[in-house]
Amino acid sequence: MPVRSQFVEVIVNKAVEAVDRIFHYQVPDRLKENVKIGSVVAMPFGREKSEGIVVGFVDEPEVKSIKEIQAVLSPAPLFHKDLIDLACWMGDYYMCPKVSALQCMLPAGLKMANEKVSAKAVDCAYLCDAGSNLPLMKVGPKQKEIVNYLQVHHGSPVSQVLSETGAPRSSLKSLLSKGLIRVSREEIYRDPYGVKNFITSVPEVLTKEQEAAVQAMEEEYVSGKKPVLLFGVTGSGKTEVYLRLIEKMIYLGKQSIVLVPEIALTPQLVAVFKSRLGEKVAVLHSGLSLGERRDAWMHIALGQIRVVVGARSAVFAPCPNLGLIIMDEEHEQSYKQDNIPRFHTREVAKERCRMQGALFVMGSATPSVETYYQAVQGAYRLVTMEKRIANRPLPFVHIVDMRQELRQGNRSIFSRLLQDKMVQRFARKEQILLFLNRRGYHTFVSCRDCGFVLQCPHCNISLTSHGGNSRLKCHYCGYSIAVPNICPQCGSGAIRHFGTGTERVEEEVKRLLPQARIARADADTTSRKGAYDEIYFGVKKGEIDVLVGTQMIAKGLDFPQVTLVGIISADLSLHLPEMRAGERAFQLITQVAGRAGRGELPGEVVLQTYSPEDPTLISASKQDYGGYYRNEIMKRETSGYPPFGTMIRVLFSGEGLTVLAKNVEIVARYIGTELTANEEILGPAPAPLEKIKDRYRMQMVIKTNDLARTRSGLARGLEQARRDGFPHKNILIAIDVEPLN
Ligand code: ADP
Ligand code: ZN
Ligand code: ZN
């Protein structure tokens, strides 16, 4: 056995650039047994005491007067080497302190160091071989139910078996005495989801396309390990492909991570995974208590959990035996984190799979332009599923020109076509989904006489009316006031409300279909824990006739009874002032439309717009990804936007506008001198949201085709500026590598 060196490399728990490097410490003999890679330790740092994370061992320390580690704070290492390497990669790639990356990997930051895991042991029941010869034996109906249950839920806790089957303990005992089942005491993971009765059916045969997809991915896992893009139309059965792949990984003794855009919005996927994989799955979400998260983390690290389902941060689940990462709805914006470290889950997942030799699968019906481009270029393996399950047709999309509706005297927010179809569907007891990407009642309030628009005094953004027309709210900071009777600027009484939000849509539906049971899903109605699930299961069980909602209802939901989808205004997303507006609009419309006609009955979509000739809308209405992509990729190429070039955004924020502007100008000059002619600098200029929560914001955007070169130029420029005292202390700089908007 090689003697372990007594010097260690430590990353200090201070998220500042100046100390974002590795420091060497000596391990005193009394701690030698406990200091491991991934341990959290206490040590002197400068004149103070600090915490740090051990990331490696060294033979020779770089300094003469080396200091000693004082204590080990974590009973077991918190990180394994793969995660430490990943954090270092993130630090370089996203220009953030390594310790920020390490911190964000832990469910509760380094506070976790002092926590102990509580294990819980329970009795679990298994079928013995004799159990499969059941028809030959004489057993009562209750006992039979237990056996049936165990055939599907092998190894379930006894208490669960009894409560799920309703059988008495005596039935279980008699099965035990007949030798048909056995019971053993096992340590289990406390599943915060409990054992809700999730029932889903297992398809007996895969479609040809599903079969081919699974096979292609297994092949890639064995031989290539290129990332895979599973490009499957809405309703093509992607979830089942994921499940088969995961089952294969379980069989191989490997762990899988399944990433979803937002866990609260994916009750269906959670239900399917829980019902099919049971105890082997941990679902990570924000509603878990600290103890529950730490439990999950530890059980994952021990390899007892085979499948982790979660949003963004689940990409850091400490799986030692990682075989697979699946990223569902790969194109979703929420995969990008918008505070430090500003990482994109896709890039981190890809890097992690590369490091750990795992397979990376991205799934979408509307892949991001970047991802599809990589697949076309051959950097990713492209696996396509073009048909819906059972060859169900994609819904027919009617484009309705709302200008014409106005001309013909229809002032309602619903076109006549949509009204007719809603009445008809309701009469046939089929379900309706109405989509509008704005919450609130009206979307802004302004004065007819002077044109003044009521804005939030803390943010540069107009206020939205809520609760009928009673209150105005800021969607950024929550500021709220009663609607004024007179214009604050000119004193006129001609205050008017404009624009439509989901609240108003709901009200209009009540007017049109007074008998209908209506639900609304947006940030206002779903803030309470479990509220979204209630709405979701309500629709699923047929207790709701019309569901009105924001983009929340656009994501992967599978409601077989929905035959009509109304898109109230397609224009909202189309005209956002950002590079990806077209891509977002296409994705949103295709995804919402994809909610119709997923069951036996065919579906239809009514898409209302003021710009019916827009090419993006037309491709979306035909669900023609190829047509859309060809158009978009040409635009990207001419403008040098991703995937043909990339960007780094430097965002500055401060309380006073003049001081901010002056500092930004100076810092920008420092940065400019370190960049080359190949980098195009836009700005500095006011950021798209000029003021949020009383802080002014300015930005510069650097367009580049060589991230590595630009990063180091930028870092040098900033360092020089800092050395000379810029920017002033109360001005914050945020760097966003590959920003999404
Ligand atoms: P996607 O994610 O591609 O939009 P889903 O995974 O939600 O599609 O599947 C759509 C529906 O088809 C679901 O109700 C699912 O249970 C069902 N399904 C999937 N595969 C099969 C199959 N092989 N046979 C029958 N039904 C299937
Ligand atoms: Zn006015
Ligand atoms: Zn505000």
Say how far apart CA 429 and CA 561 lie, in whole Å: 9
> What pLDDT is recorded for position 568?
93
Compute the mean pLDDT over every residue in the chain, rounded to the nearest whole number: 87
Say if 453 falls within a structural domain. no
> What pLDDT is recorded for position 195?
47
Of the bound ligands, which one is closest to the alpha carbon of residue 489?
Answer: 2
Q: Is 319 annotated as a binding residue?
A: no
Please name the residues in contact with 340: beta carbons below 8 A apart, sequence gap of 6 or more: 15, 96, 100, 734
Say how far apart CA 698 and CA 516 lie, in whole Å: 49
Of the bound ligands, which one is closest to the alpha carbon of residue 260?
Answer: 1
> What pLDDT is recorded for position 264?
74
Check whether 75 has a pLDDT greater than 80.
no
Q: Let me know whether 172 and 301 are in one domain.
A: no
The alpha carbon of 486 and the centre of ligand 2 are apart by a number of angstroms equal to 8
> What pLDDT is recorded for position 5?
59
240 in contact with ligand 1, CB cutoff 6 A: yes
Region at 109 (left for phi over 0; alpha for psi -120 to 50; beta for the rest): left
Instruction: Return the best residue to mutate from 199, 236, 240, 244 for the ligand 1 pocket (most ligand atoms within 8 A of CB).
Output: 240
Q: Averaged over 52-65, what is the pLDDT? A: 87
Q: Let me know whether 505 and 618 are in one domain.
A: yes
Say if 464 falls within a structural domain. no
pLDDT band at 595 (very low <50, low <70, confident <90, very high): confident
Q: Are 318 and 297 in contact (CB under 8 A)?
A: yes
Say if 490 falls within a structural domain. no
Q: Let me know whether 42 and 18 are in one domain.
A: yes
Please name the residues in contact with 630: beta carbons below 8 A apart, sequence gap of 6 or more: none
| Residue nearest atom 15 in ligand 1 by C-alpha distance | 237
Say if 1 falls within a structural domain. no
| Residue nearest atom 13 in ligand 1 by C-alpha distance | 237
> What pLDDT is recorded for position 582?
84
Say if 215 falls within a structural domain. yes
- CATH classification at residue 97: 3.40.1440.60
Ligand 1 atom with minimal separation from the 558 CA:
7
266 in contact with ligand 1, CB cutoff 6 A: no
206 in contact with ligand 1, CB cutoff 6 A: yes
Check whether 263 has a pLDDT greater than 90.
no
Q: Averaged over 237-258, what is the pLDDT? A: 94
Say if 153 falls within a structural domain. yes
Tens-place pLDDT, residues 277-333: 877 888 887 777 777 887 888 889 888 899 999 999 999 999 999 999 999 999 998
Number of domains in the chain: 5
Q: Let me know whether 576 and 696 are in one domain.
A: no
Ligand 1 atom with minimal separation from the 206 CA:
23
pLDDT band at 120 (very low <50, low <70, confident <90, very high): low
- Using the 3D structure, point to which of 635, 655, 684 is the last residue of a domain: 635
Rg, C-alpha atoms of the chain: 29
Q: Averaged over 128-154, what is the pLDDT? A: 73
591 in contact with ligand 1, CB cutoff 6 A: no
> What pLDDT is recorded for position 429?
93
DSSP structural state of residue 197: -
202 in contact with ligand 1, CB cutoff 6 A: no
- Using the 3D structure, point to which of 50, 77, 105 is the last residue of a domain: 105
CA 425 → CA 432, 487, 599, 657, distances in Å? 7, 44, 15, 55
Least confident window among 72-81, 108-117, 273-282, 560-569: 108-117
Ligand 1 atom with minimal separation from the 205 CA:
23
Q: Averaged over 544-550, what is the pLDDT? A: 94
Instruction: Return the best residue to mutate from 200, 210, 239 for the ligand 1 pocket (most ligand atoms within 8 A of CB).
Output: 239
| Residue nearest atom 20 in ligand 1 by C-alpha distance | 237
Q: Let me know whether 507 and 413 are in one domain.
A: yes
> What pLDDT is recorded for position 1?
40
597 in contact with ligand 1, CB cutoff 6 A: no
| Residue nearest atom 24 in ligand 1 by C-alpha distance | 203
The alpha carbon of 692 and the centre of ligand 3 are apart by a number of angstroms equal to 6
Report the DSSP pairing between strands 281-284 and 71-72: unpaired
Q: Averaged over 665-675, what is the pLDDT? A: 94
Q: Is 124 annotated as a binding residue?
A: no
Check whether 131 has a pLDDT greater than 70.
no
Say how far apart CA 431 and CA 564 lie, in whole Å: 7
Q: Let me know whether 524 and 405 are in one domain.
A: yes
Amino acid of residue 86 = L
39 in contact with ligand 1, CB cutoff 6 A: no
CA 41 → CA 114, 685, 716, distances in Å? 11, 44, 32
Q: Is 88 annotated as a binding residue?
A: no
Tens-place pLDDT, residues 469-520: 788 888 877 888 898 888 988 999 888 888 888 999 999 999 999 999 999 9
Q: Averaged over 51-76, what is the pLDDT? A: 87
347 in contact with ligand 1, CB cutoff 6 A: no
CA 236 → CA 34, 206, 700, distances in Å? 52, 11, 42
Q: Let me know whether 427 and 514 are in one domain.
A: yes
Say if 353 falls within a structural domain. yes
- CATH classification at residue 561: 3.40.50.300
261 in contact with ligand 1, CB cutoff 6 A: no
Q: Let me know whether 136 and 100 are in one domain.
A: no
Which two tokens mark 150? 């165990």
Q: What is the residue whose two structure tokens read 């569902």?
A: 328
Please state whether the peptide bond connecting residue 341 to the residue before it is cis, i.e. omega within 30 degrees of 0: yes
Look up the domain containing 138 and give its range.
Answer: 121-187
- CATH classification at residue 655: 3.30.70.600
Give the length of the chain.
741
- Using the 3D structure, point to which of 613, 635, 657 is the last residue of a domain: 635
The alpha carbon of 484 and the centre of ligand 1 are apart by a number of angstroms equal to 51
Q: Let me know whether 347 and 244 are in one domain.
A: yes
Q: Let me know whether 165 and 291 are in one domain.
A: no
Say if 56 falls within a structural domain. yes
Q: Let me know whether 64 and 162 are in one domain.
A: no
- CATH classification at residue 147: 1.10.10
3-class DSSP state for residue 66? coil
Q: Is 456 annotated as a binding residue?
A: yes
| Residue nearest atom 25 in ligand 1 by C-alpha distance | 203
Q: Is 487 annotated as a binding residue?
A: yes
556 in contact with ligand 1, CB cutoff 6 A: yes
pLDDT band at 226 (very low <50, low <70, confident <90, very high): very high
Q: Let me know whether 352 and 310 are in one domain.
A: yes
Check whether 381 has a pLDDT greater than 90.
yes
Name the H helices within 259-318.
267-277, 290-301
Q: Are 362 and 227 in contact (CB under 8 A)?
A: yes
